[in-house]
Structure 1
Amino acid sequence: MNPFDLIIVGGGPIGIACALEAKKKGLSHLIIEKGCIANSLYNYPLNMQFFSTSEKLEIDDIPFISKEAKPKRNEALEYYRRIVTSNELNIHLFEKVEAITKVLDTFEVVTSKSEYKAKNIVIATGFYDLPNLINVPGEELPKVSHYYKDPHYFAKQKLAVIGASNSAVDAALECYRKGAEVTMVIRGPEIGKRVKYWVRPDILNRIEEGSIKAYYNSTLKEILPKALIIETEEGMIKIENDHVLALTGYMPNFEFLRKLGVHLSDDDNLYPQYDENTMETNIEGLYLAGVICGGMDTHLWFIENSRVHAATIVKAILEKVDR
């Protein structure tokens, strides 16, 4: 079996961009994705709208046409799927990478379905698979979820939303408008500064009028089958509760990077080591692309500013070949 020039782990927008660039430059490639095409986007809330405009989500100058300036989840799925299918990118879906080892100058990749070899590896796995746990008693209860999909499920229910980011605010507003009794538990003194500018006034107005209850400077201490214990500025309180959406963010799979031998910074940010000019890690032939480059600072890299990683990586690979 001849090794691929490039195996890309992760079939999201940046992984797709890397494959597209590799194919353009005549490099053999394979994307290995543990879910569907653009799996993370697929698992976003059904009605999610991007902060970025459609042209900033484009890859390889392929036009992204959306009904509004800021596209919705379903439009993004259509866009990236069509790129994969119309360009006949080599992608294996619902196949999980279990191990990657380097033997001399070749990487050996073991997955849930097969084994492959590659001269180079790109890790473009994003950060949406591992939630930041709140680590309180009761977090394992079935009424607790770290992902939000559809507001209908929470109609006529007492719902607690933990967090104050875009995902938390979107969930709180959508569920309130579908008939949920929504309470937000927010660690800081206000709604997050990065909340979409056209949404922030809406949530603030709903909180001010009392339609949505918000506990600022507060921490969830325990989750009970039918209640929550919250530490507020006024002291401990107990409120009735049916469901909890703990939307406190997500993190890259650092353990996977460690097993590969990628060096991470010693501080809490866990920045992976890579050359900004080539995106190559401390392991020769192993590259990073997309949000995973930012460690715990998952807001540093996103589609619109990391799509350039594809051209950077392929250029670096070709320059090695030409030496």
Structure 2
Amino acid sequence: MATMLWKSLLFPLIFALAIAPVPVPSHALSPRQSQPSITIAPTATEIQYHGGPLLTTPNTVNIYLIWYGAFSRNDQTSVTDFLASFTLSNGLVPHQPTVATWWKTIETYKDKAGNSVSRTVKLVKQIGDIYSLGKNIKRVQIANYVRNKIETKVLPLDSTGIYLVLTAKDVIVERFCMGSCGFHNSISLSHAKSRIIYAHVGNPSVQCPGFCAWPFSLPAYGPPGRALVAPNGVGSDGMVMNIATILAGAATNPFNNGYFQGDPLAPLEAVSACPGIFGEGAYPGYPGNLKVDRLSKASYNAYGVNGRKFLLPAIWDLTSSKCRVIL
């Protein structure tokens, strides 16, 4: 537990159905053309199923994306390319592993009827908002904001989707950078019996890059070392890592009675149970062995659309009770 406590000081652990961010040197590996292999990293955490529903239907988890504030084009295309990569066929990508490969571990999570979590993620609709709530926002405001967008039909009602609010680098959100890099939760609507799932992730490039974009930026206090080069930019890759963590948590623990370990109010979920682990051989302060782009020197472990490279966190493997990383 001392190791977990130490990690929690460096990497965002997810609270209130929140998501902890996902994790320095690494050595260069040449891109692999064959089917990816999987390696298992040990941890002391144990994820348990608490009997609640998961996001199992339909076959796709629909994402409704809200860009709150001013984002660079690079930030936007990095995130949308990441989300598009979930549906990318392995046969259409020249290298392995892919973002879709990473999600396959999440598919092994099943509900009490034996139904697996939906096999892919898809961006269905996105809208923008230039600071209608100001630049200092409470979490309850995010919930009410999403509810309003659905009730006014700006966004459709989808009880099996995720309404994801991304906030720009100059927006302060309650508890963001203060023990959390984002969160997911659920709310009810006045005209519907079902609950809908919403989530938040912030751009950490200015407020807390060493906390919510590690290992691409170093924490103010921590072990010595060099930050890794981000393939898409510190803010962009920080958001991608945390979006990945939140999507995994929301799909496997949407209503706080699915898969998690520990306190239901501060659960360790499918990805947050493996903080700081991205590659084989990871240990506190070291993300593990990663691929390194020969030209840019950027570190990554998964391929996406449009030639994108991403760094994605380890996922808790239910069969082995260990953290699984893609190679």
Q: Please classify the TM superposition score into its range, dividing by the shorter chain length.
A: under 0.3
Larger Rg: 1
Bigger relative contact order, structure 1 or 2 (CA pairs below 8 A, ≥6 apart) = 2
- With normalisation by structure 1, the TM-score equals 0.26
- With normalisation by structure 2, the TM-score equals 0.25
